[in-house]
């Protein structure tokens, strides 16, 4: 997702950078993502909104992403997230499936992004979880938590499917559930194969999205993961 200018730090809600990092880690593990793993680790520690146990799990995942062969890591990601509906990161797969409601819901969500001044990439769908998280990171803390709580039932389904596959990616979804105020089980952490080099120095790549497009900084945006019904006059309440 592309965003306009970076907001002043005072406009950023607590946990916004953590949401941006979780969004990036749920994305395709290409070279750019792996090159920024040390910076992601630093930002998670800087905000310190995740529990120590969840941080340990996520750092173990980052270590495996960095230490693994690039082709193997990318192939495993595709096999995990693109080969079945249970672990799909496109949330409307879990809500609407292939029904006709999916199209209008996509349009509604895309318009919500536009109203916040955020634009999707050409190949990105509105219901893609990493894109949703980037949007949520622009919202005030209370509204961000409420949104995560609204989609918690979907996150729980994905979390359970990832747990069944013994995937370290479950730690990321577990972190989202906890940020929503929900309970999520701990993830077993295997012994790391190689330590992540703490001396890496990478430019900050996750410095928050803009709130441009809002009536004023900090004003919550309306978020609806399921399209609201219209009344008899054809007006959405």
Q: Which residue has the tokens 């509604």?
A: 108
Q: Which residue has the tokens 């001396």?
A: 199
Does residue 186 contact residue 53 with C-beta atoms inside 8 Å?
Answer: yes
Q: Which residue has the tokens 């900084």?
A: 217
What is the SS3 assignment for 187-212? CCCCCCCCCCCCCCCCCCCCCCCCCE
What are 5's two structure tokens?
Answer: 């200018």
Q: What is the pLDDT of residue 11?
A: 54
Does residue 177 contact residue 155 with C-beta atoms inside 8 Å?
Answer: yes
Distances in whole angstroms, Cα of residue 160 to Cα of each of 22, 86, 171, 186? 18, 9, 11, 12
Q: What is the pLDDT of residue 195?
A: 46
Question: In which band, very low, low, confident or very high, does the pLDDT at 103 lie, cut at 50, 70 and 90?
Answer: low
Q: Does residue 155 fall inside a structural domain? A: yes
Q: Does residue 87 fall inside a structural domain? A: yes
Q: Does residue 8 fall inside a structural domain? A: no
Question: In which band, very low, low, confident or very high, does the pLDDT at 220 lie, cut at 50, 70 and 90?
Answer: low
Q: Which residue has the tokens 């199209």?
A: 103
Q: What is the pLDDT of residue 205?
A: 54
Q: Does residue 118 fall inside a structural domain? A: yes
Distances in whole angstroms, Cα of residue 47 to Cα of each of 13, 94, 105, 203? 11, 31, 33, 17
pLDDT at 181 over 90: yes
What are 182's two structure tokens?
Answer: 């929900």
Q: Does residue 215 fall inside a structural domain? A: no
Residues 11-33, mean pLDDT to the nearest whole number: 91
- Taking only the tens place, the pLDDT of each residue in 76-97 is 999 999 887 899 999 877 775 5
Q: How many domains does the chain have?
A: 1
What are 74's two structure tokens?
Answer: 């990318």
Q: Which domain holds residue 52?
A: 13-179
Q: Residue 147 CB: number of other CB atoms within 10 A?
A: 21
Q: Does residue 6 fall inside a structural domain? A: no
Residues 209-222, mean pLDDT to the nearest whole number: 49
Per-residue burial over 208-229, b if 16 or more Cβ lie within 10 Å, else e, is bbbbebbeeebeebebebebee
Question: In which band, very low, low, confident or very high, does the pLDDT at 107 lie, cut at 50, 70 and 90?
Answer: low
Q: Does residue 38 fall inside a structural domain? A: yes
Q: Does residue 66 fall inside a structural domain? A: yes
Q: Residue 111 CB: number of other CB atoms within 10 A?
A: 12
Residues 31-57, mean pLDDT to the nearest whole number: 96
């Amino acid at each position: 997702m592309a965003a306009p200018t970076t907001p002043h730090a005072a406009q950023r809600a607590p946990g916004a950078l953590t949401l941006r990092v979780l969004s990036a880690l749920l994305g395709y593990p290409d070279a750019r993502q792996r090159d920024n793993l040390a910076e992601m680790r630093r930002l998670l520690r800087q905000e310190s909104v995740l529990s120590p146990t969840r941080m340990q799990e996520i750092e173990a995942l980052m270590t495996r992403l960095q230490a693994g062969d690039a082709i193997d890591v990318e192939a495993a990601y595709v096999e995990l997230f693109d080969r079945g509906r249970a672990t799909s990161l496109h949330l409307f797969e879990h809500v609407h499936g292939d029904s006709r409601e999916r199209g209008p819901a996509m349009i509604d969500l895309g318009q919500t992004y536009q109203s916040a001044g955020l634009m999707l990439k050409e190949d990105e769908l509105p219901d893609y979880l990493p894109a949703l998280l980037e949007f949520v990171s622009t919202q005030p803390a209370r509204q961000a938590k409420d949104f995560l709580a609204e989609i918690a039932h979907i996150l729980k389904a994905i979390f359970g499917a990832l747990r069944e596959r013994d995937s370290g990616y479950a730690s990321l979804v577990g972190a989202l559930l906890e940020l929503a105020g929900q309970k999520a089980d701990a993830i077993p952490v295997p012994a790391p194969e190689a330590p992540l080099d703490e001396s890496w120095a990478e430019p900050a790549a996750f410095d928050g999205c803009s709130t441009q497009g809002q009536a004023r900084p900090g004003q919550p945006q309306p978020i609806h993961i399921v399209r609201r019904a219209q009344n008899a006059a054809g007006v959405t309440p």
